Amino acid sequence: MFTYIFNITKWLIIADYHIESFIKNKIFKTTYMIEGACSQCGKCCEVIGVSVPDYLVKIRWLLIIVITFYEKVNNFKYQEYSLDHHALLFSCNNYDYENKACLSYKKRPAICRSYPSVRYFNKPVLLPMCSFKVELNIKKNN
């Protein structure tokens, strides 16, 4: 039963990503965009935040499924829930803290590949010291 629920959760997350990409790129233009490049400081690898809706935290069995998904699929370790950011916080078992390097860089999870991501209309939250910048997505006339 758990495997069945786990597989459904996995496919829902994948579907959510593709639906979001379609809506963001084809229907609505996002309010914000990301500028800059990664300085490879490793801050986003040290603490990984997964935004979750408030109701998810109240439904314990669903919360356990989401945490288990990120632990098993992405090799993360759950740390805590951040009430301030409405996010589950994880550490990464594939991150070499001493050398500040990803041990599975070529096969890193989608959440790592897409950081920082812009979701619909909310302003993205960047970690302090991040070299990326958030800009308003204003179409420039040529």
Q: Residue 30: its pLDDT value, please? A: 67
Is the preceding peptide bond at 116 cis, omega within 30 degrees of 0?
Answer: yes
CB 92 within 8 A of CB 106: no
With a CB cutoff of 8 Å and minimum separation 6, the contacts of 113 are none
Q: Residue 24: its pLDDT value, please? A: 57
Local structure of residue 62 (DSSP, 8 states): H
Q: Residue 63 corresponds to which tokens in the numbers above?
A: 């919360």
Q: Residue 95: its pLDDT value, please? A: 94
Helix, strand or coil for residue 34?
Answer: strand
Q: What is the pLDDT of residues 109-123, one digit of tens each?
A: 888 887 887 665 567
Q: Residue 18 corresponds to which tokens in the numbers above?
A: 């593709």
**Selection from 81, 103, 101 nearest residue 90 by Cα:** 81
Query: Which residue numbers in the chain have pLDDT < 50?
Result: 140-142
Q: How many CA atoms lie within 13 A of 40 on its CB side?
A: 6
Q: Residue 10: its pLDDT value, please? A: 65
Please, is 127 exposed, middle or buried when counting C-beta atoms within 10 Å of its C-beta (0-12, 13-18, 19+)? Answer: middle
Q: Residue 82: its pLDDT value, please? A: 87
CB 95 within 8 A of CB 45: yes
Distance CA 125, CA 116 (A): 8
